[in-house]
Amino acid sequence: MTSEASCGTCEKDKVEIVHVDCVSHKYPDGTEGIHNMCFRVFPKEIVALCGPNGSGKSTLIEHINGLMMPDVGRVRVFGLDIDKKNVASIRRMVGLVFQDADSQLFSPTVLEDVMFGPLNLGMSPEEARKRAEWALQVVGIKETSKIPHYLSGGQKRLVAIAGVLAMQPKILVADEPTGDLDPSNAQRIEEMLSSLKKEHGMSVVVAMHDMDMAARLADRICIVKDGSIIAEGKPGDILYDDDLLKTAGLQLPTVAKVWKGLGLDTDPARRPLTLEQLMATLKEKKK
């Protein structure tokens, strides 16, 4: 049962595509998953949800896709309040990639797993196959007839993303997509997520606690702690706030540590977010 509470503090100047409006949710055992959570997603942006384990990131994510319903507040996606009647159409618009890739790959082969979503949307097997092949091409997977179990960890993640991509959602939500991957696979996933925004015009929401990745990838950062968003803003502001990050149980990204350590953090507008930016700025200063 959703009540009509609204905190009224959300800015009304921008048109959001997802609006989590002061949502609270308690688990059956009484644990509060999220409390008075206010969160928005705008078109063509990458939002990083950063917080330690158990902060409520996954709970928030599952509300956006309609897997969980709020006890208090409402979730709007493209102007529609999520309820049991429209949840199927919501899921066409919001694709969700879970943390555990293994549990998302449940069909006999890679291609058939990616076809699963389009077939559920009512496409014919032929159309679904073409869509699936396109999605696998986007993520760069060629092993289409393999049993998913025999893929590497990185490949499983990419196939899981392809499985959601094949439904052509407007928003992709990913829960810790690079967790426990080796650096080269993690980089591949990161580049893929970035390309979804740049080349396909999608909005991407990524839950993570890797602040280096957040610095490289995100247009906007939300810090989640104890079921609420405690801070939100541009990466240059959030990721250089040592006290804020410590409160949230997070760490400064490496770039920020170096920048601050060298005593160069005098102009917030010039804060580097990637190693390349850092090196370019240092070279400039050296000149």
Closest approach of other proteins to the CB of residue 122, in Å? 9
How many Å apart are CA 123 and CA 256, to the nearest integer? 48
Task: Output the furthest CA–CA distance in the chain (Å, rounded).
Answer: 63
Nearer to other proteins (CB atom), residue 160 or residue 250? 160
Closest approach of other proteins to the CB of residue 57, in Å? 15
Closest approach of other proteins to the CB of residue 237, in Å? 33
Nearer to other proteins (CB atom), residue 55 or residue 58? 58
Nearer to other proteins (CB atom), residue 146 or residue 220? 146
How many Å apart are CA 89 and CA 44, to the nearest integer? 20
Closest approach of other proteins to the CB of residue 143, in Å? 12
Q: 28: which 2 tokens?
A: 């059956």
Instruction: Judge contact between 18 and 36, C-beta under 8 A.
Output: no
Contact residues for 249 (Cβ-Cβ < 8 A; gap 6+): 51, 52, 55, 225
Which residues bind to other proteins, rule: CB under 8 A? 28-29, 62, 65, 67, 88, 91-92, 95-96, 98, 100, 102-104, 106-109, 112, 115-117, 119-121, 125, 128, 145-149, 163-164, 167
Nearer to other proteins (CB atom), residue 37 or residue 119? 119
Contact residues for 79 (Cβ-Cβ < 8 A; gap 6+): none
Nearer to other proteins (CB atom), residue 9 or residue 103? 103
Closest approach of other proteins to the CB of residue 66, in Å? 8
Instruction: Judge contact between 178 and 208, C-beta under 8 A.
Output: yes
